[in-house]
Amino acid sequence: MTKIDDINTRILRILRLDGRISNLELAERAGLSPSACLRRVQELERSGVIKGYRAVIDPAKIGIGFVAYVTVGLNSHTKAAQEAFERAIARAPEVRECHNVTGTVEYLLRVEAADLADYKHWHTDVLGVLPQVHAITTFVVMDSPKDDRA
């Protein structure tokens, strides 16, 4: 297991903000030699601490004008019901995140759609017809003053 010391924490913080930073710049900002920095990043990747790199995309530029968080309660609390629901959600491109949570519902979803009409179609014709679904609550995102997801 890779030790997450102060230097690795610093490297991860820098990479979270800019995953395309050059090794030379990363090493300088982390206070390491380029070779030592590269070894650490490669170890963080090899051990799975760094799972990958992503592009941060402006949703509006690709036609996403509606974002909502949706809670879903299931009508059955069996493993089979959860697995069937998760398989269906995995096939839904509108669902960008799916979390199995504790509390009064089983799932919290982050859903992106072109607009309210597009979301309504997904809500009614995709999510609403799943036999495992008992309750749906939608929270529409009006603004995101902080969003560190990448």
Rounded percentage of the chain residues whose pLDDT exceeds 90: 91
d(CA 12, CA 42): 12
Neighbouring residues of 104: CB distance < 8 A, sequence distance ≥ 6: 73
3-state class (DSSP) for residue 107: strand
Residue 150's pLDDT is: 61
Rounded percentage of the chain residues whose pLDDT exceeds 70: 99
Q: What is the pTM of this model?
A: 0.83
Segment 75-87 mean pLDDT:
96
Residue ranges and CATH numbers for the domains of the chain are 6-46 (1.10.10.10), 59-140 (3.30.70.920)
pLDDT band at 149 (very low <50, low <70, confident <90, very high): confident
**Residue 3 CA: distances (Å) to CA of 6, 8, 45, 51, 121:** 10, 8, 13, 16, 47
